[in-house]
C-alpha cells in the first residue's frame, strides 16, 4: 500500500509555484503534528486537534482546512483508493473569519500621499504601476520590457503572466507609459521593467519595503501594516466607485470569478445607498 507521504508527494506534484508551496506547508505541518503513517488512520479528531493547536488567524485556519479537504478529495478519486471517504465530513466547518478587506484599502488621498512622498523615480513608478494596473506583486517582479507593446491610441498594452499560468493583457495609461519609457533608457527587451541595482528583477520583499517606506513617509497611521497588495485592493475599489464596469475591473485584475471582483462593490466605508435616499429629504426642505 502506498504510504501517506507518497500520497502527499503525488498530490503536490500536480501543483506549482506558490500554490504548491502553500499546500506543502499545510500538509507538512499537519503530518508532523499527527504522527500517523497510514492515511486510513487519520480521523476527524486529528484535524480538529491540529487546527485548535495553531496560534494563527482564523482566516489562515480556514485556508488550512480547505487544503486538507482538497487533499483527501484527491485521494478518494484515485483508482483503488486507500480510503473510501474523507476523514473530514462535509459538516466540519470553522467559524467564518472576520472580513478585514475594508481595513486593507487605501483612500485615494493616501495613495496620492504615498506617491508624492516617494522621491526615487523608479520607486515612484512602482507605486503608480501597482495602483493604475492593479497588478500583483509577483506579476510586477516578472515584467520584462518585451511584455510591453506601445498602443496606437496612446499608452501601451502589457502582457501579464498571472496565477494558474493565465495570461492577460492590461492597458497602461499614456501618462504612466511616458514615465516608464524614461525609466527604460537603454535597457534591452529581456530586461526587467523594474530592475535592482545589479540589473536583476526585484524580489517581492523589496517591493513591499518600497511600499512600507512610502506609507511611513506619507505618515499613514497604519504604515507598518500597509503592503503592496493594498494597492490592488485600492485599484478595484476606487475603479468601481468611479463607475468602471465590474467586468472591466475583473479583466484588468485577472479574476477568474466575477464574485471575487464584486466583493469590492461592498467595501467602501464612505459611500452607501442611504446617501441617495437622504437627498429626498433635503429636496423637500
DSSP H helices in 218-262: 229-241, 246-253, 258-262
The cell for 251 is 479583466
Q: Which of 64, 124, 232, 235 is catalytic?
A: 232
Contact 238, 231 (CB under 8 A): no
Q: Which residue has cell 488621498?
A: 109
The CA distance from 258 to 217, in Å, is 35
Catalytic residue status for 232: yes
- Angstrom distance (rounded) from CA 191 to CA 194: 8
Active site residue 163: yes
Which is catalytic among the residues 23, 64, 233, 264? Answer: 264
What is the rounded CA–CA span in Å between residue 201 and residue 247? 31
What does the block give as the cell for 102? 475594508
* Contact (Cβ atoms closer than 8 angstroms) between residue 144 and residue 191: yes
Is-catalytic flag, 122?
Answer: no
264 is catalytic: yes
255 as an active site residue: the answer is yes
23 included as an active-site residue: no
Active-site residue among 122, 163, 206, 263? 163
Residue that is written with C-alpha cell 497588478 in the block: 135
State the Cα–Cα distance between residues 44 and 65, nearest whole angstrom.
11
Catalytic residue, chosen from 46, 64, 124, 136, is 136
Cell 486537534, residue?
49
Q: Scan for cell 501543483, then name that residue.
A: 15
Q: Is 218 helix (H, G, I), strand (E, B) or coil?
A: coil
C-alpha cell at 226: 500597509
Closest CA to 108 of 199, 221, 213, 233: 233
Contact 154, 143 (CB under 8 A): no
Q: What span, in angstroms and rounded, lies between the C-alpha atoms of 240 and 78?
A: 44
Query: Which residues are catalytic, by number?
Result: 136, 163, 229, 232, 255, 264
Amino acid at each position: 500500500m502506498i504510504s501517506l507521504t507518497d500520497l502527499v508527494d503525488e498530490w503536490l506534484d500536480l501543483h506549482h509555484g506558490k500554490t504548491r508551496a502553500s499546500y506543502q506547508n499545510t500538509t507538512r505541518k499537519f503530518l508532523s503534528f499527527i504522527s500517523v503513517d497510514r492515511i486510513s488512520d487519520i480521523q476527524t479528531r486529528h484535524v480538529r486537534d491540529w487546527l485548535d493547536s495553531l496560534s494563527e488567524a482564523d482566516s489562515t485556519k480556514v485556508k488550512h482546512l480547505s487544503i486538507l479537504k482538497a487533499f483527501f478529495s484527491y485521494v478518494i478519486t484515485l483508482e483503488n483508493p486507500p480510503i473510501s471517504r474523507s476523514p473530514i465530513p462535509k459538516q466540519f466547518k470553522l467559524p467564518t473569519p472576520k472580513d478585514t478587506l475594508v481595513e486593507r484599502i487605501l483612500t485615494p488621498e493616501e495613495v496620492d500621499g504615498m506617491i508624492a512622498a516617494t522621491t526615487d523615480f523608479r520607486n515612484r513608478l512602482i507605486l503608480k504601476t501597482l495602483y493604475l494596473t492593479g497588478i500583483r506583486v509577483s506579476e510586477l517582479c516578472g515584467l520584462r520590457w518585451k511584455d510591453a507593446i506601445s498602443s496606437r491610441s496612446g499608452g501601451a498594452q502589457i502582457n501579464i503572466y498571472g496565477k494558474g499560468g493565465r495570461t492577460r493583457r492590461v492597458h497602461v495609461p499614456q501618462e504612466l507609459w511616458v514615465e516608464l519609457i524614461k525609466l527604460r533608457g537603454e535597457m534591452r527587451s529581456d530586461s526587467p521593467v523594474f530592475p535592482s541595482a545589479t540589473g536583476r528583477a526585484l524580489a517581492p520583499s523589496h517591493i513591499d519595503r518600497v511600499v512600507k517606506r512610502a506609507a511611513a513617509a506619507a505618515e499613514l497611521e497604519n504604515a507598518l501594516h500597509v503592503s503592496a497588495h493594498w494597492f490592488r485592493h485600492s485599484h478595484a475599489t476606487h475603479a468601481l466607485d468611479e463607475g468602471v464596469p465590474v467586468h472591466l475591473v475583473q479583466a484588468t485584475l485577472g479574476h477568474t470569478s466575477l464574485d471575487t471582483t464584486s466583493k469590492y462593490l461592498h467595501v467602501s466605508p464612505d459611500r452607501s445607498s442611504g446617501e441617495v435616499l437622504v437627498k429626498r429629504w433635503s429636496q423637500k426642505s
